[in-house]
């Protein structure tokens, strides 16, 4: 069933933050933490330091009322720079690729930073910033990776 999540970016403190949130909300992670070292090698991908390999690629935690928070560590070694304003994203998890494509098309109109939904190793994914400066993510997870 479709749902909405709140996606957070941290500068290397995702695991610490999410262990704190886990205690506060008295819940467990939705799936094991994925690490940067779990990303399959891709052409042009920068070499990660040993410290960066252990940073969080993805974590998810249910909080209240069916809402889930998710997060990643932004790594400067991968060209990411955390600034206030790019540390929160509304993550839409529609039921179909067609709905993900429709939402992307409409929300990205006159927006910026668009990456059209496409296949990734974990599922079907895309992102954009709308014309009002709000960041949106579109994600349909492959059943075998969740």
Q: Which is nearest to 6 in space by CA: 84, 80, 60?
A: 60
pLDDT per residue over 85-142, tens digit each?
667 888 888 899 999 999 999 899 999 889 999 999 999 999 998 886 778 899 998 8
pLDDT per residue over 56-71, tens digit each?
999 999 987 888 999 9
Q: Which domain holds residue 32?
A: 3-145
Assign residue 89 the CATH number of its domain: 3.10.180.10
Residue 46 confidence class, pLDDT cut points 50, 70, 90: confident
- pTM, rounded to two decimals: 0.70
As a whole number of angstroms, the distance between CA 61 and CA 75 comes to: 21
Of the chain, the percentage scoring pLDDT greater than 90 comes to 45
Give the number of domains in the chain.
1
As a whole number of angstroms, the distance between CA 43 and CA 31 comes to: 28
């Amino acid at each position: 069933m479709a749902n909405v999540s709140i996606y957070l970016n941290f500068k290397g403190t995702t695991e610490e933050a999410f262990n704190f949130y886990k205690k506060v909300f008295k819940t467990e992670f939705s799936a094991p933490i994925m690490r940067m070292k779990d990303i399959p090698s891709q052409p042009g991908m920068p070499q990660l330091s040993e410290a960066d390999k252990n940073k969080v690629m993805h974590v998810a935690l249910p909080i209240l009322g069916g809402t889930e928070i998710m997060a990643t560590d932004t790594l400067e070694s991968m060209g990411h720079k955390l600034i206030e304003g790019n540390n929160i994203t509304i993550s839409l998890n529609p039921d179909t690729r067609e709905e993900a494509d429709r939402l992307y098309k409409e929300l990205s109109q006159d927006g910026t930073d668009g990456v059209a939904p496409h296949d990734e190793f974990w599922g079907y994914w895309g992102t954009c910033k709308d014309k009002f400066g709000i960041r949106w993510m579109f994600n349909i997870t492959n059943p075998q990776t969740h």
